[in-house]
Structure 1
Amino acid sequence: MIQRPVLVSSCLAGIPCRYNGKAKANPAIVEAVARGDAVAACAEELGELSTPRPPAEISGGDGNDVLEGRAAVLDVNGEDVSRQFVAGAQKVADLVQREGITEAILQDRSPSCGCGSIYDGSHSGKLVAGDGVLAALLKRRGIKVSGSPAT
Structure 2
Amino acid sequence: MQPVLVSACLLGRPVRFDGTHRQANSAILLRWLSEGRVVPACPEMAGGLPVPRPAAEIIRGIRGAQVRAGVARVLTQSGDDVSAAFVAGARQALALAQAHGIRIAVLKDGSPSCGSTNVHDGTFTGTRVAGMGVTALLLREAGVQVFSELQFAKADAALKALERSAVK
**Superposition TM-score, scaled by structure 1 size:** 0.93
- Residue 27 of structure 1 aligns to a residue whose secondary structure is coil
In the other structure, the counterpart of 2:127 is 126
Give the Å deviation of 1:31. Answer: 5.4
Matched AA of 1:21: G
Aligned to 2:43: 43
The match for 1:4 among 2, 7, 26 is: 2
Give the partner amino acid of 1:44.
E
Gaps of 5+ in 1: none
Structure 2: state its 5+ residue gaps: 153-168
In structure 1, distance between residues paired with 2:151 and 2:101: 26
- After TM superposition, give the deviation of residue 19 of structure 1 in Å: 0.4
Report the number of matched residues. 149
Match of 2:33 in 1: 33
Q: Report percent identity of matched pairs.
A: 44
Counterpart-to-counterpart distance in 2, 1:68 and 1:60: 13
Matched, 1:22 2:23: no
Per the normalisation by structure 2, the TM-score is: 0.84
State whether residues 13 and 33 of structure 1, in contact with CA within 8 Å, keep that contact through their aligned partners in structure 2. no
SS at match of 1:16: coil
Distance change (3 Å), C-alpha of 1:26 and 1:49: same
Answer yes or no: is the 8 Å Cα contact 1:33–1:39 preserved in 2.
no
Mapped partners of 1:18, 1:34: distance in 2: 24
TM-align CA RMSD: 1.5
Report the structure, 1 or 2, having the larger helix content.
2
- Cα gap change, 1:72 to 1:89, in 2 (>3 Å): same
For the residues of structure 2 that align with 1:99 and 1:137, how far apart are their CA atoms? Answer: 16
Q: How does 1:12-91 map to 2 (within 5 A)?
A: 12-28=10-26, 29=29, 32-61=32-61, 62-91=63-92
Q: Specify the code of the residue in structure 1 equivalent to 2:95.
A: D
**What is the one-letter code of the residue matched to 1:32?**
W
